[in-house]
Chain A
Amino acid sequence: MNPVAMTGLSVALPGVDRPRGLLEPVAPDPAPVDPAVLIGKKGLRYKDRATRIGLHLAFAALTDAGLLDDGRLRAPGDRIGVVVSSNLGNADTVCRAVETIAKETTSGLSPMDTPNASSNIIASETAIRFGLRGPNLTVCNGAGSGLDAVRWAGLMVRSGRVDHMVVVGVEPDNPVTRRLVGGPVADGGAALVLSRSGETGPVRPAKALLAAGTRTAPSGTAPRRPAGTTPGTALRLTDEPDHVPPGEPSLDLAGWGELSGALGVVQCVAAAAWFAAGGAGTAHAVAGGAGVTLLAPGHAS
């Protein structure tokens, strides 16, 4: 099986604006993500927070992959799709609406909120802004959502539906999402671009390769180090300590509050950053029963 290449990366979390930052300690009192700095204020006025950050992330990842140049698409838009992972994205719009209806009838609602009531709003806005006419969907699948999104994007690249998929994982922090998860939410996320291996044209070289994806019941048996591999060469990305065999390096990425649907995408971007920093071999990301294995570029599979 020809592995799918990860060709573009982006991160937007408080205090972190590049993948490498995911390998470093979280800065104290970091500044919140401000999408307007990167993509400007134009067109953001009626967008919810998750959509704004999502657009910022997609722009940065597509640019990093070489698919966007100065905001212009450099490959056919109908061969590029979007998968978003977000569990909490439009929760505040939905809850505010029901509160307003109870107090003021529907006359108190803003018509501008209508598109935001759809769970697919981040994905469809990303398509509209950048002209991406390939498959467009949102994965809302709990803790494993981000890794599931990477898996589905990889499947659509392999099946030939698209040449490139941008995968965005994003969650907003607000009173509704805080109450729902019982604590602060990351208020940011990450994005990556998956491309067909060997794709020529504007695309940059692979930063990581996507190997197998799996799904088990959450908190299933911890994966063991595969027989015949050298201890210490496989990175584990998980916030579930049971999944880290003794002696293996690991990253829990727990410094930003609840990452929820963004977690899996942040994990994959961190793995690519680890490879770029000289970490050799393999990375295993595990979240909520979903698992994805990534290989360093040039890795013989």
Chain B
Amino acid sequence: MTYPITGAGAVASIGGDLDEVFRSLCEGRSGLAPLRAFDRAQFNAQQLFEIDDRPAEGLDEPGRATRFLLEAVRQAAADAGLPEDLAGIPVLVGTGLRELRSLELWWRDGVPFGADELHFENALRSRFGAVDTHTFAGACSASLYALALAWDLLEQGEAETVIVAGCDVVTESMFGQADRVQFDPPSSVRPFDTGRQGTILGEGAAAVVLGRVPAEGRRPRGWLRSVAVNCDAHHQTAPDAAGVRAAVRQAQDRAAVTPEEIDLVLLHATGTPLNDRTEATVTAEVFAEARPALTGVKSLTGHTSGSAGLLSLIVALRSLETGIVPPIAGLTDPLSEGAGLNLVSGGPLTGPLRTAQVNSFGFGGVNAVAIVAGAA
């Protein structure tokens, strides 16, 4: 089984749409900047990959995750040629942190907020008329989890078209908890490099439109071949190679592709010592007989939490379409577990690409892996 991806949209610190995000990745433009709205005196770390959309410098406002979500969904729906009214189309949103930033501003500063605004139902209904809307909080792999459920809806014949999205802004509580345990905050995110010191959070939203069949007369963006989801059931924050390996193998089995048939892997690659080591070990093992190009986006976008998986997937689609793979920015000295892997560094790699794997892993060992193919 394979389903057409008929539209895509994205917003991140490095671009307001998919083309701009992809150009920034190829040109090595980073979204890392000094804290834009948090009180700098309260944190050791002083940088984040925030989207620069606040009307007043240094002042935060509620509802930003919702705003980015609506923009990504708008772009994806328009790209797929869907009408503005999305009634009758399920919208599945994966997010790590929902509108918890607004909750923080409500509790601390008294900004008006209600429990019904923690999720995105009301916003999606009033903006697009969508009623079958769902907010999933599956840690950092949330948006690919939502993609797996969309797959099941199509496969079970319960929908003809599904919109899947991911969105996240940085919350002070998540940033603060990370800050509490990172005594020496990283100055940059350096995935798969021996000099990596940890991750830095980012903001972003991504959306795709999936159909059971391609729209007539329109070329799809690409094809979704499979999505595998599982859980390590191992540790609260540390990854487990067995769980990650099982998710990768399951995704390849479900798509009926061999490792040799995969030309590109979008790594989860957060730049944290243990996560990258585990992912490199599993990748080297699974692709022992193959040499796909490996890249990741987080050195330039930051770790965009629940939206990260879908953002990577959209970048993979763009690479399949253009034959251009953006490099892992900042990678100069690959970690030893990655020796022999074809990690793209320095500049973009060009060449024909047909099939890509997208990795997304989260806290609690919540893993999701997707396989996509180009439209050609």
- Asked whether B321 is an interface residue with its Cβ less than 8 Å from the other chain, the reply is no
By a CB distance below 8 angstroms, the chain A residues around B230 are 78, 133-136
Residues 165-181 of A, flagged 1 when their CB comes within 8 A of B and 0 if not, give: 00000000000100011
Residues 223-237 of B, flagged 1 when their CB comes within 8 A of A and 0 if not, give: 000000111111111
**A-B residue pairs in contact (CB < 8 Å), sample of 23:** A77-B233, A94-B103, A95-B104, A98-B104, A98-B173, A98-B176, A106-B177, A109-B177, A114-B177, A115-B237, A117-B171, A118-B137, A120-B139, A120-B366, A123-B364, A124-B139, A137-B138, A137-B145, A140-B98, A142-B119, A143-B116, A159-B152, A216-B131
- Min distance, Cβ B62 to any Cβ of chain A, angstroms: 13
Asked, given contacts A105-B41, A109-B176, A119-B137, whether A87 binds B364 with beta carbons under 8 Å apart, the answer is no
- The reply to whether A124 and B155 form a contact with Cβ atoms under 8 Å apart is no
Asked, given contacts A141-B119, A141-B135, whether A132 binds B233 with beta carbons under 8 Å apart, the answer is yes
- The reply to whether A142 and B104 form a contact with Cβ atoms under 8 Å apart is no
- Asked whether B128 is an interface residue with its Cβ less than 8 Å from the other chain, the reply is no
- Min distance, Cβ B325 to any Cβ of chain A, angstroms: 30
- Min distance, Cβ B169 to any Cβ of chain A, angstroms: 13
From B43, B149, B365, A124 is in contact (CB under 8 Å) with B365
Residues 84-111 of A, flagged 1 when their CB comes within 8 A of B and 0 if not, give: 0001100101110111111001110111
Closest A residue to B254 by beta carbon equals A161
Number of interface residues of B (CB under 8 A): 66
- The reply to whether B149 and A155 form a contact with Cβ atoms under 8 Å apart is yes
By a CB distance below 8 angstroms, the chain B residues around A265 are none
- The reply to whether B42 and A102 form a contact with Cβ atoms under 8 Å apart is yes
Asked, given contacts A98-B176, A118-B364, A119-B98, whether A82 binds B231 with beta carbons under 8 Å apart, the answer is yes
- Min distance, Cβ B116 to any Cβ of chain A, angstroms: 6
Asked, given contacts A127-B233, A139-B135, whether A180 binds B179 with beta carbons under 8 Å apart, the answer is no
- Helix, strand, loop or mixed for chain A's interface? helix
Asked, given contacts A98-B108, A138-B138, whether A114 binds B39 with beta carbons under 8 Å apart, the answer is no
Asked, given contacts A135-B231, A155-B152, A155-B153, whether A176 binds B107 with beta carbons under 8 Å apart, the answer is yes
- Min distance, Cβ B40 to any Cβ of chain A, angstroms: 11
- Min distance, Cβ B66 to any Cβ of chain A, angstroms: 14
Show the binding face of A for B, using Cβ within 8 Å: 77-78, 81-82, 87-88, 91, 93-95, 97-102, 105-107, 109-111, 113-115, 117-121, 123-125, 127-128, 130-143, 145, 148, 152, 155-156, 158-159, 161, 176, 180-181, 215-217, 260, 289
Closest B residue to A86 by beta carbon equals B137
Most B-side CB within 10 Å, residue of A107, A109, A125, A161: A161
State the CA gap A110–B180 with chains docked (Å): 8
- The reply to whether B231 and A133 form a contact with Cβ atoms under 8 Å apart is yes
- The reply to whether B108 and A117 form a contact with Cβ atoms under 8 Å apart is no
State the CA gap A130–B104 with chains docked (Å): 33
A-B residue pair count with CB separations less than 8 angstroms? 211
Closest A residue to B140 by beta carbon equals A118
By a CB distance below 8 angstroms, the chain A residues around B153 are 155
State the CA gap A107–B174 with chains docked (Å): 14
- The reply to whether A152 and B363 form a contact with Cβ atoms under 8 Å apart is no
State the CA gap A111–B237 with chains docked (Å): 12
By a CB distance below 8 angstroms, the chain A residues around B61 are none
- Return the 4 tightest CB-CB contacts between A and B, nearest first: A124-B364, A119-B137, A97-B173, A136-B231
Closest A residue to B45 by beta carbon equals A106
Closest A residue to B107 by beta carbon equals A95
From B41, B114, B243, A133 is in contact (CB under 8 Å) with B243
By a CB distance below 8 angstroms, the chain B residues around A215 are 90, 131-132
Closest B residue to A119 by beta carbon equals B137
State the CA gap A137–B131 with chains docked (Å): 21
Closest B residue to A132 by beta carbon equals B233
CB contact list, B137-183 vs A, under 8 A: 137-139, 142, 145, 148-149, 152-153, 155-156, 158, 171-174, 176-181
- The reply to whether A180 and B119 form a contact with Cβ atoms under 8 Å apart is no
Asked, given contacts A94-B171, A120-B137, A139-B134, whether A114 binds B231 with beta carbons under 8 Å apart, the answer is no
Residues 25-52 of B, flagged 1 when their CB comes within 8 A of A and 0 if not, give: 0000000000000010111100000000
- The reply to whether A119 and B96 form a contact with Cβ atoms under 8 Å apart is yes
By a CB distance below 8 angstroms, the chain B residues around A100 are 176
- The reply to whether A115 and B119 form a contact with Cβ atoms under 8 Å apart is no
- The reply to whether A102 and B97 form a contact with Cβ atoms under 8 Å apart is no
